[in-house]
């Protein structure tokens, strides 16, 4: 199985797991909607990352991998930073709910 298909299947299973975790916890509808947006965004980031990984592999063959790799790292870091800063409260509420539920 190609690497990109494997990454897709892993990200899809993680997305489904996150969605089931969100549904299982008793939290407000607003927070649930925000967390679903986060899950979808992470899923898209992983898919985009697998595509970029494939392009980096192609660039390594032509010798420009360092530049492409650095730009990709910057884009991925800013993506995760945006998700964390934009959705800090719902993530915090989900973690606190899970801790209370299983404590």
The residue extents of the domains of the chain are 28-102
For 63-82, the pLDDT digits (tens) are 665 666 666 667 767 777 77
Whose structure tokens read 């909607």?
33
- In whole angstroms, how large is the CA radius of gyration of the chain? 17
For 10-64, the pLDDT digits (tens) are 777 777 777 777 677 656 777 777 777 777 777 777 777 777 777 766 766 666 6
Q: What's the distance, CA 85 to chain centroid? A: 14
């Amino acid at each position: 199985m190609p690497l990109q298909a494997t990454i897709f299947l892993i990200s899809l299973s993680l997305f489904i797991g996150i969605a089931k975790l969100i549904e299982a916890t008793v939290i407000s509808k607003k927070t649930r909607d925000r967390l679903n947006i986060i899950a979808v965004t992470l899923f898209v980031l992983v898919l985009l990352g697998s595509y970029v990984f494939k392009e980096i592999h192609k660039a390594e063959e032509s010798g420009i991998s360092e530049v492409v790799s650095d730009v990709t790292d910057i884009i991925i870091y800013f993506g995760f930073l945006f998700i964390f800063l934009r959705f800090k409260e719902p993530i915090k509420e989900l973690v606190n709910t899970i801790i209370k539920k299983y404590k």
